[in-house]
Amino acid sequence: MARPVLEPGAVIDGFRLDAVVHRGGMSDLWRVTRAGDETPLLMKVPLIKEGADPAAVVSFEMEQMIMPRLGGPHVPTFIAAGDFAVQPYIVMERIEGQSLLPHLKHLPLPYDVVAALGVKIATALDALHRQHVVHLDVKPSNIMLRPTGDAVLLDYGLAHHAQLPDLMQEEFRVPFGTAPYMSPEQLKGNRSDPRSDQFALGVLLYFFSTGVRPFGEGETLRAMRRRLWRDPEPPRKLRADYPPWLQEIVLRCLEIEASWRYPTAAQLAFELSHPELVKLTQRSERTQRDPFTVVLRRRFNTDLTAPRKRTDAAEQVSTAPIVAAAVDLAADVSLNEALRSTTARILATLPAARLACLNVNKVHRLAIDTTLDVAGQSKQVDRLVRLRHWAEPLKLDGSRLTVHVLEAVDPADAILDFVRGNRVDHVLIGARDPSLMRSLLGSVSAKVAAEAPCSVTIVRPS
């Protein structure tokens, strides 16, 4: 069957081609419309011609397989796909927004702007990883921001889906990606580790906050392989005012060994959202690259150059959840001990989990609340200290524990807002003894259990 002619006005499977909006090296993007459908649509058509790169066809096959399985605000909505026997294409939602490319004209960006962008992108990556997908081509041109502020990840031609055949890995023996953003494990042939996307985001954060790419522009495999043993210049060497907390986060994302990075993109988003709680290590203080002796050890360390086993992004996310323990400091000792005991049992099975201890300082809707107690001490500081005291027996490393005092008229709403805003996976909350007031108005634990978008465990003393 003859292929349809791709020109303005042509109709393919009910989609009318209006105009080309982008011509790329591997595909063209057309603005299209469909009768009776007011959704803004985009058609992606691969370039299949004499001398075309075979990888372009295979990557398009991958994208056709992966996109129908994705959902949520962080991916374009899939509409339809065309058969290779007639005309291959993908029709998807046309995102009303801007990519990050315009930001490149204004680098370096303010640190708070970089952190805010990082939160949005890390949140989008976490949503993708929970759907068993590693993107493997995170870069400014593949990220758009919706009018709502949500980041959208584009282009799944190089992506890996844990539940689908990886045609790119099966048919080719060279690494694929965008050179400045490729992780060390990608260069070694591992396409299944979700922390590869975290490395690429680290490159983007470094670039947007310094104006310099951490590993330069070299695109040869030899140049790219240097990042297997050579660390980048610390951002503080490039900008003296670089915040230590941001350097701590960026350099952790750029660690050569994936296991030294954050366990999940959700935990990275959490750090970027709470810079005042970032635990600083010697990473934050560095102004020089690693000494040559360290580089040599890395160069000949076969553990760093050996390929890693295939992993499932969603399974890896499930082993490193963000757990929130809502601690009522005014509750009975027995209830808080039961809550701590339950928290300890859960964390014992999840060594990469992160714990956020929450307490809500209930404020009045109309009356003016004081911030000091009768002894003249800060109520917030007192609660923070008591939360840390509650968590002390758990013996968690500082990088796995944060404490938060929230202020709200409704404690349940405050907890729910924190859970939604920080992509918490599991909430632990104590149930107070029943009373007439609670039976009439409803308890905090009941409301959290009913409305939280995650698992909730309600604890009672034995």
Look at 9-18, 352-361, 386-395, 441-450 and tell me which has the smallest mean pLDDT: 441-450
pLDDT for the residue 42:
97
pLDDT for the residue 371:
57
Q: What percent of the chain has pLDDT over 70?
A: 91
Phi, psi of 408 (to 5 degrees): -165, 155
Q: What pLDDT, in 10s, does the model give residues 226-278? A: 888 889 999 999 999 999 999 999 999 999 999 999 999 999 999 999 999 99
What are the structure tokens assigned to 53, written together? 């790169």
Residue 441 — pLDDT band, cuts 50, 70, 90?
very low
Q: What pLDDT, in 10s, does the model give residues 389-412? A: 999 999 998 889 999 999 888 999
* C-alpha to C-alpha distance for 76 and 332, rounded to whole angstroms: 49
SS3 content of the chain, % helix, strand, coil (to 5): 40, 20, 40
pLDDT for the residue 368:
54
What is the 3-state secondary structure of 233-254?
A: CCHHHHCCCCCHHHHHHHHHHC
Domains delineated in the chain: 11-93 (3.30.200.20), 98-317 (1.10.510.10), 321-459 (3.40.50.620)
pLDDT for the residue 113:
98
Q: Is residue 374 predicted with pLDDT exceeding 60?
A: no
Q: Which residue has the higher pLDDT, 159 or 436?
A: 159
Contacts with 9 (C-beta within 8 Å, 6 or more apart), sequence order = 16, 17
pLDDT for the residue 169:
84
Q: Which residue has the higher pLDDT, 437 or 90?
A: 90
Q: Is residue 293 predicted with pLDDT exceeding 90?
A: no
pLDDT for the residue 54:
77
* C-alpha to C-alpha distance for 94 and 80, rounded to whole angstroms: 13
What residues are paired with 216 via a beta bridge? none
What are the structure tokens assigned to 10, written together? 């042509």
Minimal CA–CA distance to 289: which of 214, 206, 368? 214
Degrees to nearest 5, angle at CA 221 with 215 and 226: 45
Neighbours of 103 (CB within 10 A): 18
Q: Strands 426-430, 322-326: parallel, antiparallel or unpaired by DSSP?
A: parallel
* C-alpha to C-alpha distance for 113 and 77, rounded to whole angstroms: 27
Residue 369 — pLDDT band, cuts 50, 70, 90?
low
Phi, psi of 29 (to 5 degrees): -115, 125
Minimal CA–CA distance to 266: which of 312, 316, 325, 209? 316
Q: Which residue has the higher pLDDT, 111 or 306?
A: 111
What are the structure tokens assigned to 373, written together? 């107690």
Q: What pLDDT, in 10s, does the model give residues 5-44? A: 889 999 999 999 999 998 887 789 999 999 999 999 999 9
* C-alpha to C-alpha distance for 398 and 380, rounded to whole angstroms: 20
pLDDT for the residue 302:
58
Mean pLDDT of 126-139: 97
Neighbours of 411 (CB within 10 A): 22
What are the structure tokens assigned to 438, written together? 């609670």
Q: Please give the distance of CA 400 from its chain centroid, rounded to a whole number.
A: 17
Neighbours of 96 (CB within 10 A): 10
* C-alpha to C-alpha distance for 221 and 179, rounded to whole angstroms: 9
Q: What pLDDT, in 10s, does the model give residues 186-226? A: 998 899 999 999 999 999 999 999 999 999 877 777 788 88
Mean pLDDT of 312-339: 91
Q: Is residue 311 predicted with pLDDT exceeding 80?
A: no
3-state secondary structure of 405: strand
* C-alpha to C-alpha distance for 396 and 346, rounded to whole angstroms: 13
Compute the mean pLDDT over every residue in the chain, rounded to the nearest whole number.
Answer: 89
pLDDT for the residue 86:
86
pTM, whole model, 2 decimals?
0.90
